[in-house]
Amino acid sequence: DRLKLSFEKRKQFAKSAAAASLFDIMVAKNSNLCVAADVPTAEKLLEITKLVGPYICVLKTHHDIVDNFTDDTAVELQKLAKKFNFLIMEDRKFAEIGSIALKQASKVAGWADLVTAHSNAGPDIVPALRSAFSTCPEGDKKGVFLVAEMSSKGNLHSPEYAKATANMAILYPEVVSGLVCQSPSVVPSLGVLQLTPGVNLETKGDSLGQQYNTPEVVVGEKGADIAVVGRGIVSVSDPAAAAQKYQTLLWQAYLNRLA
């Protein structure tokens, strides 16, 4: 049972190098917190990264919503990732035929350790992204998270779709490090990580379809290995304190799950 196995033990089953290093980072930092740094400017992105860096295993970006994101911003992010020991995930959700996804991913593969992709176009999205990685230094250490399910109201992700997405993780175990999903039964093997967004202690959702749960529910019931918190941390007055609080609660939920 995946949910009863520690991250230390699960690391032995990781076939993707990025998943293996994620397990290491999570254990070293006692953190299963991914912050979604959804902020409008490069200055704010670097500022928030410095504040939350000590508490996270993954920093998730949407670099295309950042006004002045440049190569320098990417270099600074990479320095902070090294300093604080976390991985950078560009949540670009590639969803194209392989030849286009390869070209799109080449724009971010230089600085992102992990990228997200939809599975709707079929399994060849994965080797396309692997090709984009292969042109980068240490490209074989990069990984993909496939979106199997979504947190938003009315989404079209059926159980069959989620299962077919999980099968792509089995087909390309050295590239697919994890799945983005909402239910514990989707993840097909012990070495694959479950990333689950939709976590907020203060509110149940937003006005545009997002739906939130608590850390206890997301980790204990929905099966998240890594939980994504965006506005619950980046839109409050003290993001560092909020990140520390979510880190503590999410890690406690993981320990409770093991017990």
Catalytic residues: 93
User: Among 19, 31, 38, 177, which residue sits at the site for ligand 6AU (rule: CB under 6 A)?
Assistant: 38
Q: Is 229 in the site for ligand 6AU (CB under 6 A)?
A: yes
CA quadruple 186, 138, 70, 96: dihedral, nearest 10:
-40
Site membership for ligand 6AU, residue 239 (CB under 6 A)? no
Cα separation, 24 vs 81, whole angstroms = 14
Would strands 58-61 and 226-229 be described as parallel, antiparallel, or unpaired?
unpaired
Considering only residues 32, 49, 73, 116, which one is a binding residue for ligand 6AU as defined by CB under 6 A? 116
Residue 151 marked as a ligand binder: yes
Q: Answer whether 140's CB lies under 8 Å from 188's CB.
A: no
| Among 31, 73, 104, 151, interactor with ligand 6AU by CB under 6 A | 151
Percent helix, strand, coil in the chain (nearest 5)? 45, 15, 35
Give the range of 15-23, 95-103, 147-155, 249-257 binding ligand 6AU by CB under 6 A.
Answer: 147-155
**CA proximity to 36, closest of 45, 26, 27:** 45
Q: How far is the CB of 151 from ligand 6AU (least distance, A)?
A: 4
- 150 part of the interface to ligand 6AU, by CB under 6 A: yes
Cβ distance 176 to 16 under 8 Å?
yes
| 133 alpha-carbon distance from chain centroid | 17
Q: Is 58 in the site for ligand 6AU (CB under 6 A)?
A: no
Closest residue (Cβ) to ligand 6AU?
A: 230
Q: How many CB atoms within 10 Å of residue 107?
A: 14
| Phi, psi values for residue 135, rounded to 5° | -85, -5
Whether the Cβ atoms of residue 167 and residue 192 lie closer than 8 Å to each other? no
Judge whether 209 is annotated as a binding position.
no
Out of 35, 36, 81, 175, name the contact with ligand 6AU by CB under 6 A: 36
# binding residues, ligand 6AU (CB under 6 A): 18
210 is in an annotated binding site: yes
Please, what is the minimum distance in Å from the beta carbon of residue 179 to ligand 6AU?
A: 10
- Rounded to 5°, the CA angle 203-145-132 comes to 135
Exactly one of 147, 162, 218, 253 binds ligand 6AU (CB under 6 A); that residue is 147
Supply the minimum distance, in Å, between the C-beta of residue 168 and ligand 6AU: 16
Residues 158-217 that bind ligand 6AU (CB under 6 A): 180, 197-198, 200, 210
Rounded Cα distance, 122 and 198, in Å: 26
Q: Which residues bind ligand 6AU (CB under 6 A)?
A: 36, 38, 62, 91, 116, 147, 150-151, 180, 197-198, 200, 210, 228-232
